[in-house]
Structure 1
Amino acid sequence: MGLLASSDQHRSAGSLVVSVVSHGHGVQVQQLLEQMAQCHTLHGARVVVTHNVPEPALSAPQGGWPFVLEIVSNAAPQGFGANHNHALRHAREAFVCVLNPDVQLLAGEDVFAALLQAAAQPGVGCAYPQQVDEQGQVQDSERELPTPTALWRRRVLHQSEARVDWVNAACLVLPTSAWGAVGGFDEAYFMYCEDVDLCLRLRLAGLALVRVSKRVLHAGERASHRRWAHLRWHLISLLHLWRSPVYRRARQLLRAEGGGAGTIGGS
């Protein structure tokens, strides 16, 4: 049976905590926070910024931030999932948001209002926006289950993916009940595939992944395409995913459903 958003969540659609993890992204985080300060939906929200490595302090605007800003400074670097889990573990808000530091908010796009409205609907596990680059080109944030065959079609044959089995975690809003029910990110994934695993566990819980019509700018290039260490982590995470019970169960579920959550480019 799927999890349903409670009536309290419907009444508290503005109750949101946002987690941003910075690994030397100080300039981008500063820019992102200033953009978030212009978003009326976030006024009164709580924002947790985790510095995974030592960084200069962030500069508050004159008059302060319109949201509650909490800073966490790690004594030693932690994994992507571990950082977000720590930031969100005591969340009392109705909704939680995972937000990448290299995301930019577009003027006139009240993305958080749309995400909260979508996430508040019964049966929704997470809501996410469309991601575009600086030229407005849609980014491939929606993916098929990363089977070896699907990766071969994508990387070698350069074929486009048609299904949405999972979405990347650059910008996700989830009901706190759904986040808690699946246990947040699996910290066994230090980097890469934790978003695949999270989406699959939401799907297995009977919850939907819903794209809203709003956009964010996210043109970050995968570090695994440029650095051997990151490529190694990516491969390790893929092997861990393929061996996991979550992957096996989700693959059976998606086969039974005849596909993914939707189609690329669909509503």
Structure 2
Amino acid sequence: MGSDGVQAEAFSGHTPRLVVSIVSHGHGALVQRLLYQLAQLSASSISRVVVTHNIPEPALHTPANGWPFQLDIVCNAASRGFGANHNHALRGANEPFVCVLNPDVELLPSQEPFEALLRAAMITGVGCAYPRQLDADGQEQDYERELPSLPALWRRRVWRRPQRAVDWVNAACIVMPRSAWRLVGGFDEAYHMYCEDVDLCLRLRLAGLKLQKAHAQVLHVGQRASRKQWRHLLWHIRSLLRLWCSDAYCQARSLSKISN
């Protein structure tokens, strides 16, 4: 299916419905809070939520009146990587739109984000819609990034220079047409953790699809574990090396040089 056909499944007169995938790696309290927020603010947009417990943890509490959406619980016998968990949760989804959502995302009481995200995802040629991300202090995060070359990382991390382009966005909160998700095959599971969102965005763009910022915002309160834990730092370095050797990265870099 090409970029012109990606929106062909978007709904003729029906309310768009969304399946949300959340992966918990001991984040039970955050997931519980997020589910309550989704139920209170976004029930009209969401038909189903899949929560994957990547390690054993206590069961989630169900409110007395139940959830306003179908809640599917997956308990892994062995832990999987970020992309593998979301691919498994969204495999065979019948909903026309899919959402990858981190447990450390919070919805703002004053703004329900998913109606705007769905509207953005329904624009012809859009492969991924994303909101503005704020940190706990209300400051905008650097969720929009340019192609992660060594010079770009140096400019960003050492010189604190602004990004020159939006080549990819982090996957803390993204909404995609199911057809776009299937077109690129979801996440590349060869990335255990880190850079799978870079790779996904590059493959979407190479397929002729756009990344579209929606008129929505969320809080993203987590911090990257690779800044604090050696194991995560190693995973991050390995993922960067894999990315730099990938066909998607080489093609994207060539196109970037041509456009510049």
38-47 vs 175-184, which deviates more?
38-47
Corresponding residue for 2:242? 240
Equivalent position amino acid for 1:10 in 2: F
Equivalent position amino acid for 2:97 in 1: F
Q: CA deviation at 1:257?
A: 3.2
Superposition pairs of residues 68-107 of structure 1, within 5 angstroms: 68-107=70-109
Superposition pairs of residues 112-151 of structure 1, within 5 angstroms: 112-151=114-153
Q: CA deviation at 1:42?
A: 4.2
Superposition pairs of residues 171-250 of structure 1, within 5 angstroms: 171-250=173-252
Assess if the C-alpha contact under 8 Å between 1:30 and 1:59 holds in 2.
Answer: yes
Distance in 2 separating the partners of 1:256 and 1:71: 46
Assess if the C-alpha contact under 8 Å between 1:5 and 1:121 holds in 2.
Answer: no
How high is the TM-score relative to the length of structure 1? Answer: 0.93
Corresponding residue for 1:2? 3
Assess if the C-alpha contact under 8 Å between 2:43 and 2:69 holds in 1.
Answer: no
SS at match of 1:38: helix
Distance in 1 separating the partners of 2:76 and 2:4: 34
Q: Point out 4+ residue stretches in structure 1 off by more than 6 angstroms.
A: none
Deviation digits for residues 68-116 of structure 1, max 9, x if unmatched? 0000000010000000000001111100000000000001212000011
SS at match of 2:181: helix
Equivalent position amino acid for 2:103 in 1: P
Classify 1:104/1:40 alpha carbon distance in 2 versus 1 (closer, same or farther; 3 Å).
Answer: closer
Classify 1:68/1:124 alpha carbon distance in 2 versus 1 (closer, same or farther; 3 Å).
Answer: same
Distance in 2 separating the partners of 1:41 and 1:168: 24
Distance in 2 separating the partners of 1:7 and 1:154: 38
Q: CA deviation at 1:210?
A: 0.4
Deviation digits for residues 163-197 of structure 1, max 9, x if unmatched? 11100000000000000000000000000000000
Classify 1:56/1:3 alpha carbon distance in 2 versus 1 (closer, same or farther; 3 Å).
Answer: farther
Q: CA deviation at 1:63?
A: 0.7
Unaligned runs of 5+ in 1: 259-267
Classify 1:44/1:200 alpha carbon distance in 2 versus 1 (closer, same or farther; 3 Å).
Answer: closer
Q: 2:19 aligns with which of 17, 25, 32?
A: 17
Classify 1:165/1:44 alpha carbon distance in 2 versus 1 (closer, same or farther; 3 Å).
Answer: closer
Assess if the C-alpha contact under 8 Å between 2:3 and 2:125 holds in 1.
Answer: yes
- Give the total of aligned pairs: 258
Distance in 2 separating the partners of 1:59 and 1:218: 23
Assess if the C-alpha contact under 8 Å between 1:3 and 1:205 holds in 2.
Answer: no
Corresponding residue for 2:156? 154
Distance in 1 separating the partners of 2:109 and 2:3: 35
Assess if the C-alpha contact under 8 Å between 2:136 and 2:219 holds in 1.
Answer: yes
Classify 1:225/1:123 alpha carbon distance in 2 versus 1 (closer, same or farther; 3 Å).
Answer: same
Distance in 2 separating the partners of 1:87 and 1:182: 16
Distance in 2 separating the partners of 1:170 and 1:251: 24
191-200 vs 149-158, which deviates more?
149-158
Equivalent position amino acid for 2:131 in 1: P
Deviation digits for residues 190-239 of structure 1, max 9, x if unmatched? 00000000000000000000001211000211100000000000000000
Q: 1:110 aligns with which of 101, 109, 112?
A: 112
Assess if the C-alpha contact under 8 Å between 2:3 and 2:207 holds in 1.
Answer: yes
Q: CA deviation at 1:134?
A: 1.9
Q: CA deviation at 1:41?
A: 4.5
Distance in 1 separating the partners of 2:225 and 2:95: 33
Q: CA deviation at 1:135?
A: 1.8
Distance in 2 separating the partners of 1:214 and 1:237: 30
Distance in 2 separating the partners of 1:231 and 1:7: 41
Distance in 2 separating the partners of 1:124 and 1:181: 13
